[in-house]
């Protein structure tokens, strides 16, 4: 089950895009250049509580509880990303499921290379796990290799971005007053390969610190509510596979977020945050 995808340096409500806004996403994005925005992402460790926001009637999720710990570290010439998600789900038919996901990645700051691993446990038993690497040329074209039960190689279109580069691009667009941005993104958090991500960016707002504790000031200040829709790059459909809403600070820290899977949506509430020192 796809509980969470790391698309940004950190990922609340946001405006949900309609299918008519997306249009023919594959054709519109293919030639999009990679923005060369400059930004510095703030190393931090954040903890979120997960809770069910909405579910459709009939069979499906009735209860969702869990937590996520997200760590972004500055390693001089790259960033490391770690995410631990634990989720308990209860369904209308009486069944229950516990899912744990552990994701780790290193991404070069110049956007040229990434390595990643994903481990999944379902009710305590090993689920889908894999590892891999991504290599990008200067124009964003390249390859992504996933090694799990089988090895799969994806060819990446020009303009493809790693997740941290995508976050920087989003921040650059937001700071420039742009309200819409699209691009190919890959980070290894799903084994489906690259996604086309379309984002709507609302006007900036000011927010107080989310918590009252030392170091929590990094969750305060101007932020942009954003809504991101994810289409597998190989898809020709008009509806996204899922949507992500987040309130993103200029530092790349997300104050809060929502994730919509269609049949149900999950909210992420920030419960702890602390700044981390760069490693260089």
CA distance 170 to 151: 32
User: How buried is residue 144: exposed, middle or buried, by Cβ count under 10 Å (0-12/13-18/19+)?
Assistant: buried
pLDDT of residue 262: 80
β-bridge pairing 180-185 and 205-207 = unpaired
Backbone angles phi, psi at 187, to 5 degrees: -145, -5
Tens digit of pLDDT at every position of the chain (280 positions): 344 443 332 332 222 222 223 334 443 433 344 444 456 799 999 999 999 998 876 668 888 999 999 999 999 899 999 999 999 999 888 899 999 999 999 999 999 999 999 999 999 999 889 999 999 999 999 999 999 989 999 999 999 999 999 999 999 999 999 999 999 999 988 888 899 999 999 999 999 999 988 889 999 999 999 999 999 888 777 888 889 999 999 999 999 999 988 888 999 999 999 999 988 7
Between CA 7 and CA 219 the distance in angstroms is: 19
Domain spans, the chain: 19-273
Contact 184, 33 (CB under 8 A): no
Residue 192 is predicted with a pLDDT of: 83
From first CA to last CA, the distance across the chain in angstroms is 37
């Amino acid at each position: 089950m796809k509980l969470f995808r790391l698309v940004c340096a950190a990922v609340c409500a946001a405006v949900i895009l309609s299918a008519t806004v997306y249009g023919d996403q594959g054709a519109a994005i293919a030639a999009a250049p990679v923005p060369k925005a400059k930004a510095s992402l703030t190393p931090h460790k954040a903890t979120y509580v997960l809770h069910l926001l909405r579910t459709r009637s009939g069979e499906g999720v009735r209860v969702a509880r869990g937590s996520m710990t997200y760590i972004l570290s500055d390693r001089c010439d790259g960033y490391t990303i770690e995410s631990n998600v634990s989720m308990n789900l209860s369904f209308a038919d009486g069944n229950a499921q516990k899912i744990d996901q552990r994701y780790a990645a290193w991404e070069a700051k110049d956007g040229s290379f990434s390595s990643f691993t994903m481990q999944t446990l379902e009710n305590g038993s090993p689920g889908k796990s894999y590892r891999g690497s991504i290599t990008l040329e200067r124009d964003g074209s390249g390859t992504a290799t996933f090694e799990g039960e089988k090895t799969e190689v994806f060819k990446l279109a020009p303009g493809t971005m790693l997740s941290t580069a995508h976050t920087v691009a989003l921040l650059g667009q937001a700071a420039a007053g742009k309200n819409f941005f699209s691009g190919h993104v890959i980070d290894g958090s799903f084994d489906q390969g690259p996604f086309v991500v379309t984002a709507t960016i609302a006007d900036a707002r000011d927010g107080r610190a989310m918590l009252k504790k030392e170091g929590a000031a990094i969750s305060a200040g101007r932020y942009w509510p954003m809504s991101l829709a994810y289409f597998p790059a190989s898809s020709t459909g008009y509806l996204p596979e899922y949507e992500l809403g987040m309130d993103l600070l200029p530092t790349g820290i997300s104050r809060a977020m929502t994730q919509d899977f269609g049949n149900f949506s999950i909210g992420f509430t920030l419960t702890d945050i602390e700044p981390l020192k760069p490693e260089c």
